[in-house]
């Protein structure tokens, strides 16, 4: 039903690069995020499966705007170290300038999967439907998935369901 599914969380982050510090808008992502939103990294690469699987805290992807503002679009920015919330990270990529996620995002990092956050309710999931799959079919599959999670993890998932919506609906949905 889905070509790709990925998780995401929004965060305010503290960023330093050895010269100055600033508060930036961040997004932690899990899985094939760039495929799920139909975008490609314009410089460098996306996070690897291993970086996603192992909660790799050592990498980051910059927005095009942050790349311009902090690094003057220096093509040598890849492999440069920055510090986010006190932890060193290596820049592995730059996101496209036309990326629109409803609000500006400055930096992307992998989601930390520590197992202790199963009850958190701040994970959004974005997906790309396979060609020919309807919203109704996708919604039915999500109901099966959430039902299975309800069964497997009653302490944290009982009664929780997913709601399928288009990207446009999600971007204007009131919080």
pLDDT (tens digit per residue) in 139-171: 999 889 889 988 888 888 888 888 888 877 766
Per-residue model confidence (pLDDT) at position 71? 94
pLDDT at 44: 97
Beta bridge partners of 126: 6
Looking at residue 150, its pLDDT comes to 87
pLDDT one-digit tens code per residue, 48-107: 888 877 656 799 999 999 999 999 999 999 999 999 999 999 999 999 999 888 789 999
Answer yes or no: are the C-beta atoms of 29 and 7 closer than 8 Å: yes
Look at the pTM and tell me if it is higher than 0.75: yes
Task: Select the highest-mean-pLDDT range: 21-25, 152-156, 170-174.
Answer: 21-25
> How many whole angstroms separate alpha carbon 57 and alpha carbon 160?
29
Give how far Cα 37 sits from Cα of 93, 144, 161, Å: 16, 23, 22
Contacts of 155 (CB under 8 A, 6+ apart): 119
> What is the rounded average pLDDT of the residues 29-39?
90
| Residue 130 DSSP one-character state | P
pLDDT on residue 160? 82
- Strand 2-16, strand 43-44: pairing: unpaired
Q: What is the pLDDT of residue 120?
A: 65
**Predicted pLDDT of residue 117:** 61
> Is 70 exceeded by the pLDDT of residue 29?
yes
Higher-confidence residue of 168 and 4: namely 4
């Amino acid at each position: 039903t889905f070509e790709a599914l990925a998780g995401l969380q929004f965060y305010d982050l503290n960023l330093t690069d050895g010269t100055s510090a600033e508060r930036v808008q961040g997004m932690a992502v899990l899985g094939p995020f760039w495929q799920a939103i139909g975008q490609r990294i314009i410089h460098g690469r996306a996070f690897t499966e291993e970086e996603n699987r192992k909660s790799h805290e050592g990498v980051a992807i910059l927005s095009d705007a942050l790349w311009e503002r902090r690094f003057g679009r220096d093509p040598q920015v890849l492999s440069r170290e920055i510090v986010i919330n006190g932890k060193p990270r290596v820049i592995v990529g730059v996101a496209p300038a036309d990326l629109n996620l409803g609000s500006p995002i400055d930096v992307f990092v992998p989601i930390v999967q520590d197992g202790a956050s199963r009850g958190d309710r701040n994970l959004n999931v974005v997906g790309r439907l396979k060609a020919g799959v309807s919203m109704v079919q996708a919604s039915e599959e999500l109901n099966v998935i959430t039902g299975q999670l309800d069964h497997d993890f009653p302490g944290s998932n009982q009664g929780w369901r997913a709601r399928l919506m288009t990207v446009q609906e999600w971007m204007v949905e009131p919080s």
